[in-house]
Amino acid sequence: MSTWPDKYIIGLTGNIATGKSVVRKMLEHVGAYGIDADALAHRAIMKGAPGYQPTVDTFGRWILTANDQVDREKLGKIVFANPEAMAALEKIVHPLVRQAIDALVRRANQRLIVIEAIKLLETDLHTLCDQIWVTQATPQKQLSRLMRKRKMTQGDAQQRIDSQAPVRDKLRAADVAIENSGTFEETWNQVNKAWKAIPKEPVDAAPSPRKPTPAPTPEQLTVRRATPNQAEEIASFITEQSDGERRMTRSDVMAAFGEKAFLLLLAGENLVGLLGWQVENLITRVDDVILNDSLSPTESMKLLVETMEKASRELQSEASLLFLSPAIAQHEKVWNDLGYKARTVKDLNVRAWQNAAMESMLPGTVLFFKRLRERRVLRPMG
């Protein structure tokens, strides 16, 4: 009998910088619950997490930063150059990640689960999957992504690529192979086709929004999750609401779908507001809240945020971070009534939350914070 008999599990893997996370996000857009096993591995060795002390005991305190966090760059240089060191780290981390995945899958409301893991096939995790998906990209694309997105030198990036087995070994085990060297839309077409072939209950696509109409009443407002098919409408709305200062194209929005999701606020079938968000590493990040001037901020923000929080809790998010423009942040009473407080990065008392804020907070935005779950998945061992 399957470990999770009521779930359908997609195991998603591929070599470094082949776009695994983009494919996971695409599957989340159409209704799957996504788990990033590699992010769980990083959290497992943070200070206070159960893998922290065994990692320090194994590799020494010299791998720590000034504030006693594991320096992943130092640790990475050791383990990617030494297979025995990598095996020692995996012996610490893999059981913890496996426990966390089990907890997340069992608690998930969604039937379809996608587990992203670079070492999926090298562990017993792949035996728990109903399908194996493998992403691939050209070596040139892998190298450029590592250098651009992770700020690696060419030498370090090439070492990471060379330290992994050839992708053909993974492709032999694949039920679905995704070529991810091209545009977001080319990848989306492959993912959408493979997704539609999976036996499941149908996922309703949100209807296409139209141009906004003024002054809707609260009773007319509804929220629906966008799909990439609505990229053009979203781009037009953002451009219009910013008076052209933030010009967005369909391609811009399609690319954004590789990182986050959009909630659309509709008056009837007309688009009057949106919220851009993602749950990554069990932390919700909101970096877009855009409303038509005719809307009441109290009702519209409440509807958008409560919908986002409900979805975030279903994705087992621990905390919600809002990165708001000054114009939206000025409605502080609305945010306080919703349980959010203005914070600085230093105010956040969990390292993973601080890291998320530093990664996502843009200059000129205001941070608001709310805790969504008291019990953390990778909490300190007592």
Of 196, 229, 256, the one marking the end of a domain is 196
Average pLDDT over residues 30-57: 95
Tell me what pLDDT residue 211 has: 46
* Per-residue pLDDT reduced to its tens digit, 90-149: 999 999 999 999 999 999 999 999 999 999 999 999 999 999 999 999 999 999 999 999
Tell me what pLDDT residue 51 has: 96
Q: Cα 149 to chain center, whole Å? A: 15
Of 196, 226, 253, the one marking the end of a domain is 196
In a domain, 2, yes or no: no
Range of the domain at 243: 218-371
Backbone φ, ψ for residue 64 (5° rounding): -90, 150
* Per-residue pLDDT reduced to its tens digit, 184-227: 999 999 999 999 999 765 444 444 444 444 456 666 899 999 99
Backbone φ, ψ for residue 84 (5° rounding): -70, -40
CATH number at residue 64: 3.40.50.300
Residues 55, 185 within the same domain: yes
Q: Are strands 131-136 and 33-36 parallel, antiparallel or unpaired?
A: unpaired
CATH number at residue 339: 3.40.630.30
* Per-residue pLDDT reduced to its tens digit, 261-276: 999 999 988 999 999 9
Residues 24, 150 within the same domain: yes
Query: For the chain, what is the radius of gyration of the CA atoms?
Result: 21
In a domain, 213, yes or no: no
Residues 165, 231 within the same domain: no
Residue type, 97: V
Question: Which residues are CB-contacts of 95 (< 8 A; sequence separation ≥ 6)?
Answer: none
* Per-residue pLDDT reduced to its tens digit, 307-331: 999 999 999 999 999 999 999 999 9
The conformation of residue 222, written as its DSSP 8-state character, comes to: E
In a domain, 163, yes or no: yes
Neighbours of 373 (CB within 10 A): 13
Neighbours of 325 (CB within 10 A): 16
In a domain, 204, yes or no: no
Residues 174, 267 within the same domain: no
Of 196, 226, 254, the one marking the end of a domain is 196
Residues 170, 229 within the same domain: no
